[in-house]
Every structure is written in structure tokens, then in C-alpha cells.
Amino acid sequence: MPRWLVDLLPIVVLLAVIVVVVARLPKVELGHTSAFRRRRFFNWFPVGLTYAFLYMGRYNLNACIDRRDVLVLFDKAQYFEIDSWGALTYGLSFLVNGPITDRIGGRKTTLIAAVGAAFANALMGAVALWAMRDGAIPRDARPALVPVFSALYALNMYFQSFGAVSIVKVNSAWFHLRERGTFGGIFGILISLGLYFAFDWSSALVKGVGAHAAFFVPAGILLVLAVVDLALVRDTPGEAGHTDFDLGDATGTGERMPLRRVVRLMLGSSAILTIAAIEFCSGYLRNTIMKSYRSFSEDTGRAAVDYVQMHWGMMNCVAGILGGVLAGLISDRLFQSRRGPVAALLYAAMIVGSLAMYATLRTPYVGWVLVLMTLAIIGVHGMLSGTASMDFGGKRNVGVVVGVIDGCVYLGSTLGSRVLKVVLPARPLSSTAAAWWTWPAAILPFAVLGFVLTLFVWNAKPRTAAPAQ
């Protein structure tokens, strides 16, 4: 059996089990017809698949970090420098992209995200192909590549920033408040599949073809998906030939408010501000966990025998799927669609995981600890960025709300990249696992802060607006 099929099989089996389990759960009865549910699937699935491959075109840069005995494009410090500029661009882009999405609709901005990210990835692939035309790039020539990749990656991340806003905007009109915890699970699944594509497929492409392929392949896939989205995706059920319905969220069927009023309402909402702060911590933690383990495993000489490292994308995918689905189901079934309690439980798991990292750094078990932490942090992200933003923004203004929340995620990622660039050990010191104590030390404070913040939104739930007269 081919290696790629062996790696993909556990994910397929897990998805099949989740489909069976979710299908057997008591339905949230809202009167949807089977025709509506079928059309809704063909609406969220293409845009969701686009979002997954946007992730591949976002995290593929990580596959280009030097391995222990192989030079690729850049070392850890150079990578985190490039990554921080991209994350900062993403984090600030919500000021523009959220209002744009609310104005022109998620369908159009999905196309902007896919085509724009494809263009930026193609440019990065061309630069990588040119830079490595004679083989490995000499170390003394690499600093000149950092500003080039920083600019191109920032361009990529500008277009990428339309992705989360778009998928939440589109689905906010198709999912009732009481169904959105389950959608948060779907959101987590899509993120997780994207991580599998980004880490495992990109690494295989770099090793088998070259660094340029890690950029060209997602660019091509995104262009194909843009065509599919153009054909299938619609912003509302009404545009797809079905009846629009009361969503039970913050705005009901009211009119879209001006940007200034939305921002004023957000600044006056302690729930939204707290969720944004929690997601800042989530972005920081996700960055510090997922983007460092392969470097840790390579530098400490474990890569050849480390199962988690060899299947990092698959492990993150499985953990993320479980985290997203469990968080969504627990929120809807046990906590009456409140997101705070689930986020608090998952942040508590992050604290325990941070402490466990200290105890397991010198052992093979640290990888499994990080997989469980990935489960927790993707569960939080899907629950808050993918679900709470719809709840509190409503379908009319969700673009601005999710833009702010997702922007905070990437501002947290920016800080994470800057911190890791400074605190992670460089070679040859990094060959000793004990020297990596600074890694969990950088994680723990934000895990504690995030947990404390979740307690402030334990009972938060949006008020249902009355329908417009």
C-alpha cells in the first residue's frame, strides 16, 4: 500500500466514524427539509475545502525550514521572522476585509482569497525555484531572501485573511444558532485537514520534488476550487432557491449596520472583547505548539524514529478533528450552545499539557503531549472564531466580528513567532532536549491567561433580536 494511502487511511476512518456518530445523535429540529440539508452541504463543503487548502498554502512555509542534515530555504530564526510579518499582515487586514466581506458577501471574498493566495504562492514558488537552481542556498546568501519571502508571504496572508471571514459569513446564513456548535466542529475538521495537507503533503513535496513544489501545488488546487466555488456557493438559502429563515442570533433579520456602529457595539460588548482576547491567546499558543515540534525533533536527532514527527500533519489532523467535533457537540448538547464552558475546559487541558511538556521533553512522549494540546487549541479556535463570531455578529455583521476575532488570533501568532525567534535554542545547543525548556516556559503563561479569560464568558450567550417589522 502506498505511503500516502497509509497516512490518509486513519483520517478517512475517523471521519467515517464521526459521520456515523453525528448522524445518530438526536437532531436539532428546525423544520429543514432534506432538500435544504442537501443543498446546504453543497454550499459549505466546497468553501470549506477551499479553506482547508488555503491552510496548505499558509503553513507550507514551515516545510521549508532546514532539516538536521539538509539545507532547504531558511533556518528556524529566519522562518519565524518571515512568519511574523505574514501573521501581522493577517492580523491587521480585518480592518479592511471584515467590512468588505459584509458588504459584498462571503462568496465573492472566498474567490478573492483563493485566487489571491494562489497568485502569491505561485510567486513564492518561482522565487524558491530560482534561488535553488544550483542546489542548496549558501548560508551567507540566505539573509537576502528573508525580506523577499517576508513581502510575498505578507501578500499571501493578506488574501488568506479573507478565508475565515468568508466561510463564517457564508455559513452564518445557513446555520441556526442551535446548530452552530456542530458547525464549529466542522470548522475544526476543515482546519485539521488543512494542517494535514500543509505539514505532511508539503514536506513530501519538498523532499520528493523541491521547495518550489510546496508552493506551486496548493496554488494550482486553489485555482481549481475557485472555479468550483463560483459554480456552487451562494451567500444565502434564498439565492440558492430555498427560503431564508430566522437564525436566532444577534441580529435576526435586521439590516446590516454601518461599520462605525458595529465597531461601537463590539467595543461595548464585554463578551466579544473577551472572546477576542481569548483568541489572541489561542493564536499565540497554536503558533508556538504546531510550528516548532518538527524543528525540535530534527534538532535533537529524533526525527528518524519519532512517529509523531514523521506523521505530524496526520496527528494534528486527527487531534483537531476530535477537538473540533467534541467541542461543538458538548457545547450544543450539554451547555445549551454556550461556548465559554467548553473553551474553559480546553484551556485547562492546555495548562496541564504545558506542565507535562516539562516532564516529557527528554522522552518520546512529548510529541503525544503536543498532539493532545493541539486537540484542545483547535477545539477552542473552532468554537470561538468559527461559532461564537456567528452567534454575536449575526449574519448581517459577522464579517466585521469574525474579522476582529480572527485578526486577534494572528496578532497572537505574530507575538508567538517573535517570542520563539528569541527564546528557542540555536544550533548546536538545540541538539540537547534540556535546552528546549524555554519552549514550554513560553507557552504556560498564555495558557493560564486564556483559561482565566474563559471564565468571564462562561454564561455568555447572544440575545435574539426581534425580526424587522
Mean pLDDT by 10 residues, the chain (469 residues): 65 65 58 84 89 92 79 85 94 83 89 97 94 75 89 96 84 74 66 83 88 95 97 89 71 57 72 86 92 88 80 84 76 74 91 95 92 88 63 59 79 93 86 92 96 86 46
Task: List the alpha helices (DSSP H) in 197-338.
Answer: 202-208, 213-232, 259-267, 270-290, 293-299, 307-310, 312-334
Q: How many CB atoms lie within 10 A of CB 354?
A: 24
Residues 445, 384: Cα–Cα separation, whole Å: 20
pLDDT of residue 127: 93
Euclidean distance between the first and final Cα of the chain, in Å?
62
Residues 94, 411: Cα–Cα separation, whole Å: 11
Q: In angstroms, what CA-CA distances link 28 with 23, 175, 182, 453?
A: 11, 11, 10, 30
pLDDT of residue 192: 78
Residues 28, 305: Cα–Cα separation, whole Å: 46
Distant-in-sequence, close-in-space partners of 415: CB < 8 Å, separation ≥ 6: 284
Q: Are 85 and 154 in contact (CB under 8 A)?
A: yes
Distant-in-sequence, close-in-space partners of 388: CB < 8 Å, separation ≥ 6: 275, 339, 405
Among 222, 49, 193, 198, CA closest to 120: 222
Length of the chain (residues): 469
- Provide the greatest CA pair distance for the chain: 69
Q: In angstroms, what CA-CA distances link 183 with 113, 156, 255, 284, 353?
A: 21, 27, 24, 24, 26
Among 425, 406, 404, 415, CA closest to 449: 415
Amino acid, single-letter form, for residue 67: R
pLDDT of residue 262: 67
Q: In angstroms, what CA-CA distances link 338 with 74, 169, 332, 333?
A: 43, 20, 7, 10
Among 285, 230, 281, CA closest to 108: 230
Among 185, 173, 158, 191, CA closest to 48: 191
Among 312, 314, 318, 319, CA closest to 291: 312
Looking up cell 497509509 gives: 6
Residues 45, 226: Cα–Cα separation, whole Å: 13
Residues 250, 400: Cα–Cα separation, whole Å: 14
Which residue ranges form the domains of the chain, and what is each CATH number?
43-234+255-455 (1.20.1250.20)
Distant-in-sequence, close-in-space partners of 182: CB < 8 Å, separation ≥ 6: 22, 28, 328, 329, 332
Amino acid, single-letter form, for residue 338: R
SS3 content of the chain, % helix, strand, coil (to 5): 80, 0, 20
Alpha-carbon dihedral sign for residues 206, 212, 213, 219: positive
For 348-379, what is the HEC assignment? HHHHHHHHHHHHHCCCCCHHHHHHHHHHHHHH
Residue 241 DSSP label: T
